[in-house]
Amino acid sequence: MRPVAILISGRGSNMSALIEAASADGFPAEIALVISNRADAPGLANAQAKGIKTLVIESKPFGKDRAGFEQVLQAALDAHRIEVICLAGFMRLFTAEFVQRWYGRMLNIHPSLLPSFPGLDPHGQALRAGVKISGATVHFVIPETDAGPIIMQGAVPVANDDTADTLAARVLGVEHQIYPQALRLLATDGIKIDRDVTTNTAGVDANDCLIAPTVI
Ligand code: GRF
């Protein structure tokens, strides 16, 4: 079983979904550690309540010294023999060196169908663009923000009267489904990366499709 660290900065609902999934019999990865870069992250208490070890490594005192923060982070990851990192609402950018070191072993989730709408306010971006389907993406982390080999995506319809908040809530539901599935795929060696594109062993039916809005 691969020891996994989840990195959070906030409420940690994706963290909770990962912990929940990993607690099931036969899940191929173990959530060994939750690390927050903020002592006040609400997710910390939820992880502790589920019996997961937590660590706080405050990033603020490091200011722009990203490498200094990463040195402490890497030491904690080494001490727990972590093999996979899941970023779950972790609001701190990494140096290219750190990202390269973890290439293929560090996952992120972003609440849009990448490569559309990376960065801040993805739901506002989606609404302004008028897309009819949005969703979430689990991807390997590369130095560019909200980019990298895509592991799994989940789609939801966009309603005419959606606000950024209502769309965010719908997308969050699909986030909680795809993040555990993506970790499962990775932990069972079901993903191959070739030139920054993944292929996976979980087949899809070529006739399956998702259309929104549906016309009756
Ligand atoms: C999620 O929408 C995730 O996709 C994004 O940040 C949010 C974190 O939410 N990267 P939570 O802390 O997992 O509830």
> Residue 68's pLDDT band (boundaries 50, 70, 90)?
very high
Catalytic residues: 110
Tell whether the model's pLDDT for residue 13 goes beyond 90: yes
C-alpha separations of 52 from 77, 157, 195 in Å: 15, 35, 35
Contact of 33 with 2, CB cutoff 8 Å: no
pLDDT in tens, 113-152: 999 999 999 999 999 999 999 999 999 999 999 999 999 9
For the Cβ of 16 lying below 6 angstroms from any atom of ligand 1, the answer is no
> Residue 206's pLDDT band (boundaries 50, 70, 90)?
low
Closest ligand 1 atom to residue 110 Cα is 4
Give, using CA atoms, the residue closest to atom 12 of ligand 1. Answer: 12
> Residue 208's pLDDT band (boundaries 50, 70, 90)?
confident
- Within 10 angstroms of residue 162's Cβ, the number of other Cβ atoms is 18
Note the pLDDT of residue 200. 80
Note the pLDDT of residue 205. 67
Cα separation, 114 vs 121, in Å, equals: 13
Cα separation, 173 vs 47, in Å, equals: 19
For the Cβ of 92 lying below 6 angstroms from any atom of ligand 1, the answer is no
Give, using CA atoms, the residue closest to atom 14 of ligand 1. Answer: 13
Note the pLDDT of residue 211. 83
Of 82-86, 137-141, 160-164, 206-210, the range with the lowest mean pLDDT is 206-210
CATH of domain 1-102: 3.40.50.170
Q: Where in the chain is the domain with CATH 3.40.50.170?
A: 1-102, 109-205
For the Cβ of 118 lying below 6 angstroms from any atom of ligand 1, the answer is no
Closest ligand 1 atom to residue 109 Cα is 4
Determine if the pTM surpasses 0.85. Answer: yes
- Its CATH class, for the domain covering 109-205, is alpha beta
